[in-house]
């Protein structure tokens, strides 16, 4: 009983440590003080000012465009790459498997400088295109690793059974292979989207005029002081995330209940 109480206290302290900064951010998004040092009063003014802050909104839109585009492309490439590496044997396969983990383990600053060097060497102008391309290159290994974790040895048996029943390669992939690895595909896509959404280092080296992202915008505001508009935007993003997660949980629970009936 005593150990159980200590365990609950420990879990409570961990959760308090994790969520306290988020709670403070949400509370201070309603603070009348622009300095955000002491809570002086309650107001909705920062939410009104947010939609008039064109630079911040533009940076947020750029971030969403980059994150969505890079997620879609990296998920498709990563999924196909994972299937190919799992299904076929070829020369240097073990070496390629090793190369996949290099972008994951090396510091982002090394990858950022490397990508900048390539763009400079090939004379590609920095902007939205280079940002999207960089985020795709950064996200693909994470998607491959995530998808490969769901590819079991029994999958090949299901594919062979589908072909024995007359299904062609395309039907086998979409009706047998893809549903089996869908949890890994979704996990990889979410991971790629998250990494792209809050990336600073790689974006710093590969961005150009007119391609400012939200993380870079916030980073540039640190020296002069972060506007409470950022707290308001962060709170709205947090609210949107909670709605998406809640909706997903409800859908999943309904599927489980429907499947048990």
- What pLDDT score was predicted for residue 258? 57
70 and 116 co-located in one domain: yes
Q: How many domains does the chain have?
A: 2
- What pLDDT score was predicted for residue 154? 62
Alpha-helical (H) ranges within 29-101 are 45-50, 54-87, 93-100
Q: In this structure, are residues 206 and 112 in contact, taking their beta carbons and an 8 Å threshold?
A: yes
Residue 20 within any structural domain of the chain: no
3-state secondary structure of 122: coil
DSSP 32: S
175 and 254 co-located in one domain: no
173 and 207 co-located in one domain: yes
Q: In this structure, are residues 232 and 29 in contact, taking their beta carbons and an 8 Å threshold?
A: yes
249 and 208 co-located in one domain: no
Residue 32 within any structural domain of the chain: no
189 and 259 co-located in one domain: no
147 and 255 co-located in one domain: no
206 and 246 co-located in one domain: no
148 and 252 co-located in one domain: no
DSSP 127: S
118 and 94 co-located in one domain: yes
- What pLDDT score was predicted for residue 61? 92
Residue 140 within any structural domain of the chain: yes
Domain span at 257: 227-261
pLDDT along the chain (261 residues), means of 10: 78 89 87 78 87 89 94 94 82 83 88 92 92 94 89 71 78 81 88 90 90 88 80 89 81 62 53
Q: Any bridge partners for residue 31, and if so which?
A: 42
> In sequence order, what E strands does the chain have?
none
CATH number at residue 111: 1.10.3720.10
Residue 14 within any structural domain of the chain: no
236 and 203 co-located in one domain: no
Q: Is 174 exposed, middle or buried (0-12, 13-18, 19+ CB in 10 A)?
A: exposed
pTM (two decimals): 0.84
- What pLDDT score was predicted for residue 21? 87
- What pLDDT score was predicted for residue 158? 75
171 and 232 co-located in one domain: no
Q: Residue 126, by phi and psi: left (phi above 0), alpha (psi -120 to 50) or beta? A: beta
243 and 123 co-located in one domain: no
Residue 6 within any structural domain of the chain: no
């Amino acid at each position: 009983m005593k150990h159980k109480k200590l365990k609950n206290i420990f879990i409570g302290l961990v959760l308090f440590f994790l969520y306290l900064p988020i709670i403070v951010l949400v509370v201070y998004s309603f603070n009348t003080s622009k300095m955000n040092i002491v809570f002086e009063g309650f107001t909705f003014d920062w939410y009104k000012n947010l939609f008039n802050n064109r630079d911040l909104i533009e940076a947020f839109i750029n971030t969403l465009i980059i994150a969505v585009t890079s997620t879609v492309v990296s998920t498709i490439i990563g999924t196909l790459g994972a299937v190919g590496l799992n299904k076929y044997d070829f020369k240097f396969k073990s070496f390629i498997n090793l190369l996949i983990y290099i972008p994951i383990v090396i510091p982002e600053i090394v990858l950022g400088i490397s990508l900048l060097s390539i763009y400079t060497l090939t004379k590609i102008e920095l902007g939205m295109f280079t940002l999207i391309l960089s985020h795709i290159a950064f996200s693909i290994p994470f998607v491959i690793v995530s998808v490969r974790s769901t590819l079991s040895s029994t999958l090949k048996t299901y594919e062979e059974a589908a072909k024995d029943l007359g299904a062609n390669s395309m039907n086998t992939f979409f009706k047998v292979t893809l549903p089996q690895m869908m949890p890994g595909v979704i996990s990889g896509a979410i991971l790629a989207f998250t990494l792209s959404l809050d990336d600073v280092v790689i974006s710093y080296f590969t961005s150009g005029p007119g391609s400012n992202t939200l993380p870079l915008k916030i980073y540039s505001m640190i020296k002069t002081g972060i506007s409470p508009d950022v707290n308001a935007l962060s709170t709205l993003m947090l609210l949107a995330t909670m709605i998406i997660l809640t909706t997903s949980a409800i859908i999943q629970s309904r599927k489980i209940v429907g499947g048990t009936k």
